[in-house]
Chain A
Amino acid sequence: MKKMDFVGKRKFFITISTILIVASVISMLAKGFNFGVEFTGGSEIILRVESNSFSESDVRTILQNISSDFEAARVTRVRSVGDPEGITKFSITLSKTFETEEKAKVQNSIEQQISTVGVKGQVISFNETGGSAAEEIRRLTWRSILITLAAVLVYITLRFNFVFGIGATIALIHDVLITLGIFSFTGYELNVPAVAAFLTLIGYSLNDTIVVYDRIRENMKKFKGKEISSLVNESINQVFRRTLNTSLTTFFVVFILFLFAGNAIKPFAFGMTIGVVVGTYSSIYIASPLVIKWVKSR
Chain B
Amino acid sequence: MRTDRIRLVIVIVAIFGAFLALLWPSEEQTYRGLAAIFQRIPLGLDIKGGARLEYRVDIDENVENPSEVIDDVWTVLRNRLDAAGYTEATVRKTFRENNSFIVVEIPAATDTTRAEKLLGSTGLMYFGQVIDESQIDPQNDPRLKDLAKLKKAEWLPSRDGKIWYLVRTEVMLVKDLKLVSPQIVSASPVPETRVGRFGYKVTFELSSKDSEIFKKITQQLVVPESAIGSSSSKEKRLAIVLDDVVQFAGYVISVIPDGKAEITGNFSLEEAKQLAAILRSGALPARLEKISAGWVAPLLGSDIVKTSLWAGIIGLFVVLIYMIFTYGVQGIIADIALVYNTFLLLGVLAATHSILTLPGIAGIIFTIGTTVDGNIIIAERVREELKSGKSVKAAISSAFGRCFITLFDANLTTIIAGLALYYFGTGTVKGFAITLIIGVLGSFFVNIVLSRLLTDALSSFIRKPAVEERGAQS
Docked Cα-Cα span, A147 to B370, in Å, equals: 22
Contact of B424 with A by CB under 8 A:
yes
Interchain CB contact under 8 A, A126 and B112: yes
Q: Does B84 contact A (CB under 8 A)?
A: no
Which segment, of B60-68, B130-138, B277-285, B358-366, faces chain A? B358-366
Complex Cα gap A148–B292 (Å): 26
Question: Would you give 6 A-B contacts (Cβ < 8 Å), ordered by A?
Answer: A83-B303, A104-B111, A193-B362, A210-B406, A257-B308, A265-B358
Residues A199 and B417 in contact in the complex (CB < 8 Å), given A218-B402, A268-B358: yes
Chain B positions 182-236 with a Cβ under 8 Å from a chain A Cβ: none
The answer to whether B366 touches A211 (Cβ under 8 A) is no
| Extra A-B contacts (10), CB below 8 Å, given A159-B409, A250-B373 | A46-B296, A100-B112, A101-B113, A122-B299, A140-B425, A242-B373, A246-B377, A252-B319, A254-B315, A261-B304
Indicate if the CB atoms of B323 and A261 lie closer than 8 Å. Answer: no
A contact set with B: CB distance below 8 Å: 38, 46, 48, 80-83, 100-101, 103-104, 122-130, 132-133, 136-137, 140-141, 143-144, 147-148, 151-152, 155-156, 159, 192-193, 195-197, 199-200, 202-204, 206-207, 210-211, 214-215, 218, 238-239, 241-242, 245-246, 248-250, 252-254, 256-257, 259-265, 268, 272
A103 near B362 (CB under 8 angstroms)? no
* B311-364 at interface with A (beta carbon < 8 Å): 311-312, 314-316, 318-319, 322-323, 326, 358-359, 361-363
Interface string of B402-416 (1 = CB under 8 A from A): 100110011111101
In the bound complex, residues from chain A placing their C-beta under 8 Å from that of B426 are 137, 140-141, 192
Specify which of B290, B311, B362, B412 is in contact with A260 (CB 8 Å cutoff).
B311
Instruction: Tell me which of B71-79, B139-147, B428-436 binds A.
Output: B428-436
Q: A193-B428, A195-B429 are in contact. Are A152 and B416 (CB under 8 A)?
A: yes
* Residue B420 at the chain A interface, CB threshold 8 Å: yes
Contact A257 B365 (CB under 8 A): yes
Closest chain B CB from A152 CB (angstroms): 6
Residue of A144, A211, A252 near B421 (CB, 8 A) is A144
Within 8 Å by CB of A151, from B112, B358, B416, B428, lies: B416
Nearest residue (CB) in B for A244 is B376
Contact of B413 among A83, A127, A152, A196 (CB under 8 A): A152
B311 touches A246 (CB 8 A): no
Q: Which are the 8 A-B pairs with shortest beta-carbon distances?
A: A127-B294, A262-B304, A124-B297, A253-B315, A196-B359, A260-B311, A133-B291, A144-B424
For the complex, would chain A's binding face be called helix, strand, loop or mixed by DSSP majority?
helix
On whether A214 and B358 interact (CB within 8 A), knowing A100-B117, A128-B292, A260-B310, the answer reads no
B384 at the interface (CB under 8 A from A): yes
**Residue pair A124, B369 in contact (C-beta under 8 Å):** no
Complex: how many Å from CA A257 to CA B361?
11
Q: Would B428 and A261 count as touching, CB distance under 8 A?
A: no
Q: How many interface residues does chain B have, given as a range?
A: 35 or more
User: Most chain-A CB neighbours within 10 Å: which of B116, B306, B413?
Assistant: B413
Question: Is A202's CB under 8 angstroms from B417's CB?
Answer: yes
Among B311, B361, B366, B380, chain A packs the most CB atoms within 10 A around the CB of B311
What CA separation (Å) do A124 and B120 show in the bound complex? Answer: 23
Minimum CB–CB distance from B447 to chain A (whole Å) comes to: 13
Contact A152-B417, Cβ < 8 Å, known A144-B425, A250-B369: yes
Contact present for B424 and A207 (CB under 8 Å): no
B307 CB within 8 Å of chain A: yes
CA distance A133 to B326 in the complex (A): 49
Is B368's beta carbon under 8 Å from chain A?
A: yes
Q: Is the CB of B303 within 8 A of A262?
A: yes
Check B154 for interface membership: any CB of A closer than 8 A: no
Kindly report which residue of chain B lies nearest to residue A257, judged by CB atoms.
Answer: B311
* A265 partner, pick from B111, B117, B362, beta carbons under 8 A: B362
Q: How many Å from the CB of B104 to the closest CB on chain A?
A: 14
B418 on the A face (CB < 8 A):
yes
A262–B292 CB distance below 8 A:
no
A215 to B416, CA, bound (A): 21
A151 to B418, CA, bound (A): 10
Q: B96 at interface (Cβ–Cβ under 8 A)?
A: yes
Q: A199 and B311: CB pair below 8 A? A: no
- Is B54 interfacial (CB-CB < 8 Å)? yes
Give the chain A neighbours of B400 by CB distance below 8 A. none
Q: CA separation between A280 and B60, bound complex, in Å? A: 52
* B373-412 residues at the A interface, CB under 8 angstroms: 373, 376-377, 380, 384, 402, 405-406, 409-412
Q: Does B171 contact A (CB under 8 A)?
A: no
Most chain B CB atoms below 10 A, which of A140, A159, A197, A203: A203
